[in-house]
Structure 1
Amino acid sequence: MTNPSILYRGGRLFCPADPRATALLVRDGRIDWLGGDGDAPSADRVVELDGALVTPAFVDAHVHVTDTGLALAGLDLSGARSAADVLAAVAGFTAGLPADAVVLGHGWDESAWPDRRVPVAAELDRAAGGRRVYLSQASIHSALCSVALLAAVPEVVRAPGYDASGWLRRDAHHLVRAVAMGSVTPVQRRAAQRVALGRAASLGIAAVHECGGPEISSEEDFTALLALSGAGAPEVYGYWGELTGARRARELGAVGAGGDLFADGALGARTAHLSVPYADGEPGGCGHGYLTAEQVRDHLLDCAAHDVQGGFHAIGDAAIGTVLAGFAGAAGVLGVERLRAAGHRVEHAEIMEKRLIAGFVEYGIVASMQPAFDRLWGGDRQMYASRLGVGRSLESNPMGAMHGVGVTLAFGSDSPVTPLDPWGSVRAAVAHFNPAQRLSVRAAFAAHTRGGWRAVPAGAGGRDPRLPEGVLVPGAAATFAVWSTPAGVGDGGLPVLVSEVAEVRGPDDPTPLPVCRRTVVRGSVIYDVDGDGDDEGGAVGAS
């Protein structure tokens, strides 16, 4: 028995192959027909678009779903502007909590504070009434910990990255994070995951790439999330970041053995591995490389042995150079063409230069990038300028240069490092601080839609590899979003995202972004602005 056919009509469709199309027919999870209202075939049900814009739905190519849900429903420190703000937020959040509660918070970023002093462990103890406190920095590569939490992990004092102040990095951070996140019960975890997936659906996101691993989540967290994939929510494609863990990735249901398999850390924590020292760190400090070229090679060979896509987290140019040296080693065994065919990924790829970009081209590496990083921390006055100097800051996140030579880009948020905000990410790529790295709206939109599907192995998650993804054409998967566009639609068929006034363009551009009215995944409604989520007809208006 087939599902009822549904005709969406009276809208504007982003369909370059038929720019005059105003309607589409969905049948059995596919786009069965597309064209003008007057030519529309009959259908079992009709949805009036009332002038709304229909586009392919977004894919967020790098998220941490449970962390995102905990941040959305818990202690959000992104608005803190001082140590005092953090302590006040902790005190207010913990009032009334049980004495044995573990306090989880996220999002503080001292790089923009007038006084960059952060709270120390004893201050957190007092603010939280002696409770265990774990507060991850915006990058999630360091955290502030209370005395009570440090005492619960006695081995932490011997781990690299430990500091008696309670601000931990590297291995020490991984130890305390495991204990803190281990306090989340299965019920709390499921609730957090549903909150995050619901938020994604409300933003027109049809699929997310979850980046898990033994150093960032747990097997239980990972498999519980995969079980929610597509069940009235965005589809979840999991990446398990365990070195030479391709077999285990397959067993867990992952589509790839990569994601947050750390070749280095993060710029915010000064642990990204650079070839030139940090401008504001210890003399000669270049961060930390966590992998050798030989380990990278062996991981790629392990992925080939199990026919699994691989990948690495690499931010600094030294770390990316190590990863590419490992690719060269693997190519010596497998051959370049077999390596290219696997579609391996590198997450972030922030500090690049021509030689490294050429390596991405040679080995067919997908660059999973986050345009919001430039918006929040790039330019000549923000965190990257402090960490790297203005020159390197403006050269970071070279999306334009990579797109220009054919590197496949897949955009995401790294949520909760930056918020789920797909149109904001498209605008960030269009308004990159460095004009030479800016993308067109169409190219940036493609990286956040079609690029996300291209970054996942064909057929992953039970998808039909014959179905086009990320486009509105007959025969494609019926995965799309319906939008109100308060700033209008441009000549290219996509929303206006930047002001016509050149002086106000940039990270703080006041142009209102589109608002999602409905999100559809393979014909099923996973979000509707009216909250009913049915397809009994009616209207999805643009007002």
Structure 2
Amino acid sequence: MTNPSTLYRGGVLHCPADPRATALLVADGRIAWLGADRDAPAADRVVELDGALVTPAFVDAHVHATDTGLALSGLDLSGVRSAAGLLEAVAAFAAGLPSDAVVLGHGWDESNWPVPQLPDAAALDRAAGGRRVYLSQASIHSALVSAALLAACPEAERAAGYDASGWLRRDAHHVVRAAAFASVTRPQRVAAQRTALAHAASLGIAAVHECGGPEISDEEDFTGLLAVSGDGVPEVYGYWGELLGAARARELGAVGAGGDLFADGALGSRTAHVSSAYLDGDAGSCGHGYVSADEVRDHLLDCAAHGMQGGFHAIGDAAISTVLQGFAAAAEKLGTDRVRAARHRVEHAEIMNKRLIAGFVEYGIVASMQPAFDRLWGGAGRMYESRLGLDRSLESNPMGAMHAVGVALAFGSDSPVTPLDPWGSVRAAAAHHNPVQRMSARAAFAAHTRGGWRAVHLDNEGVLALGAPATFAVWSTPAGVERGLPVLQADDPELRGPQDPTPLPVCRRTVLRGEVIYEEGSA
């Protein structure tokens, strides 16, 4: 028995193949008809669009669902602007918790503070009333922890990245992170995942790429998330980031052995591996590379042996150079065409140059990028300039240059590093701090929709076309519509840029393969 058909009519459709279309028919999860209202066939149900815009739904190509859900329901520190403010937030949040609870918080970013001085472990102890405290920095590659949590993790003191002040990086951070999140019960994790996915659906996102791995989440967390994929929420495509772990990734249900398989750390924590030393922090430090070119090669060979897509988290130019050396070595064994066909990925790819971009083109690497990184940390007076200097900061996140030479792009948020905000990301790519690195809103939208599907080898998804999956979103567009897309930038060129005041679209409905997974005003 077929499912009831639904006619959506009276809208504006982002449908380049038929720009005059105002209606579409959904039947059995697919688009069965497109055209003008007056020519619409009969349907079991009719939805009046009242002039709303219909576009392909978004794909967020890099998320951490459990962390996102915990951040949405937990202690959000993204608005904190001082050490005192952070301690006040911790004290207020901890007061409502049992005495044996772990205070979990996320999002502080000292680069935005007038005085970037952090509280120490003892101060966190006092603020939390002796409770254990774990507060991840915006990058999730370092954290502030309390003395109580340090005492509960004596092995952290022997690990790289340990600091008695309580600001931990590298291996020490992984140790305390695992201990802190062990306090989260399985039902709490499931609830957090559902919260994150429901929030994504409310923003017109119909699919996400979860980047898991032994240093990010445990296997039960990962498989539990995959189990709810598409169950009234967006679909989840999982990447398991474990070196030489292609077989295990397949067993866990992942689509790829990559994602957050760390070739380096993050700029916010000064652990991204860069070729020229950071201008702040430890003198002469260039961050840290976590893999060798030989390990990259062997991982890609392992992926080929198991028919899996692979990839790495690589932010700094030195880390990306190492990854590309590994690609070159793998291509010597497999042939370049076979490497290209796999569509391996690099997550973030923030510090690039022409040579590295050429490597992405040569090996067909998908660049999974986050436009909000430039919006939040690029440009004069922001974190990238503090770490790298203005010239290097303006060369970061070169989405426009990569798109111009044919690098496949898939956009996402890295949530909770930055919020789920697809239209904000489209605008950020079109309004890069460096005008040379800007791309059109149309190209950015494609990277955040069809690009995400292509990154998981689903080439026929992400379009409104006859016979395509009925996966789309319905939008209110307060700034209007132009050529099938919402107006995202101000008419006045002086107002355009990362802080453009133009109101963004609001999602009214999200449909995944014909099923409504979000409707404005519903419980």
TM-score of the superposition, structure 1-length normalised?
Answer: 0.96
2:178 match = 178
In structure 1, distance between residues paired with 2:457 and 2:261: 18
- Structure 1 residue 530: Cα displacement: 2.7
1:294 match = 294
The one-letter code sitting in structure 1 at the alignment partner of 2:113 is W
- Kindly provide the CA deviation profile for residues 277-304 of structure 1, in whole angstroms up to 9, marking residues without a partner as x: 0111222110000000000000000000
The one-letter code sitting in structure 2 at the alignment partner of 1:155 is E
- Structure 1 residue 90: Cα displacement: 0.4
1:271 match = 271
Matched pairs, number: 523
Q: Identity of counterpart residues, as a percentage?
A: 80
- Structure 1 residue 96: Cα displacement: 3.1
Please state whether the residue corresponding to 2:270 is helix, strand or coil: coil
2:453 match = 453
Q: CA RMSD in A?
A: 0.7
**Does residue 471 of structure 2 align to residue 479 of structure 1?**
yes
Q: Which runs of 5+ in 2 are unaligned?
A: none
- Kindly provide the CA deviation profile for residues 15-58 of structure 1, in whole angstroms up to 9, marking residues without a partner as x: 01111100000010100110000111111111000000000000
- Kindly provide the CA deviation profile for residues 343-377 of structure 1, in whole angstroms up to 9, marking residues without a partner as x: 10000000000000000000000000000000000
In structure 2, distance between residues paired with 1:176 and 1:31: 49
2:96 match = 96
Of residues 135-144 and 174-183 in structure 1, the stretch that sits farther from structure 2 once superposed is 174-183
In structure 1, distance between residues paired with 2:443 and 2:238: 25
Q: Does the aligned pair in 2 maintain the 1:255–1:457 contact within 8 Å? A: no
- Structure 1 residue 505: Cα displacement: 1.2
Task: List aligned pairs for 1:388-537, cutoff 5 A.
Answer: 388-458=388-458, 468-490=460-482, 492-531=483-522
In structure 2, distance between residues paired with 1:21 and 1:436: 35
The one-letter code sitting in structure 1 at the alignment partner of 2:487 is V
- Structure 1 residue 69: Cα displacement: 0.4
- Kindly provide the CA deviation profile for residues 296-355 of structure 1, in whole angstroms up to 9, marking residues without a partner as x: 000000000100000000000000000000001101111100000001000000000000
- Kindly provide the CA deviation profile for residues 56-90 of structure 1, in whole angstroms up to 9, marking residues without a partner as x: 00000000000000000000000000000110000
Please state whether the residue corresponding to 1:47 is helix, strand or coil: strand
In structure 2, distance between residues paired with 1:529 and 1:357: 41
In structure 2, distance between residues paired with 1:59 and 1:25: 22
**Does residue 214 of structure 2 align to residue 214 of structure 1?**
yes
Q: Does the aligned pair in 2 maintain the 1:61–1:368 contact within 8 Å? A: yes
The one-letter code sitting in structure 2 at the alignment partner of 1:76 is D
- Kindly provide the CA deviation profile for residues 465-515 of structure 1, in whole angstroms up to 9, marking residues without a partner as x: 7xx21000101110000000000001x210000101111111211100000
- Structure 1 residue 267: Cα displacement: 0.2
In structure 1, distance between residues paired with 2:192 and 2:198: 10
In structure 1, distance between residues paired with 2:484 and 2:457: 29
In structure 2, distance between residues paired with 1:283 and 1:86: 28
Task: List aligned pairs for 1:295-444, cutoff 5 A.
Answer: 295-444=295-444
1:232 match = 232
Task: List aligned pairs for 1:45-56, cutoff 5 A.
Answer: 45-56=45-56
Q: Which runs of 5+ in 1 are unaligned?
A: 459-464, 533-543
Q: Does the aligned pair in 2 maintain the 1:58–1:204 contact within 8 Å? A: yes
In structure 1, distance between residues paired with 2:398 and 2:327: 21
1:535 match = none
Q: Does the aligned pair in 2 maintain the 1:91–1:127 contact within 8 Å? A: yes
In structure 2, distance between residues paired with 1:85 and 1:237: 38
Task: List aligned pairs for 1:64-213, cutoff 5 A.
Answer: 64-213=64-213
2:248 match = 248
In structure 1, distance between residues paired with 2:252 and 2:150: 31
TM-score of the superposition, structure 2-length normalised?
Answer: 0.99
1:541 match = none
The one-letter code sitting in structure 1 at the alignment partner of 2:520 is V
In structure 2, distance between residues paired with 1:181 and 1:263: 23
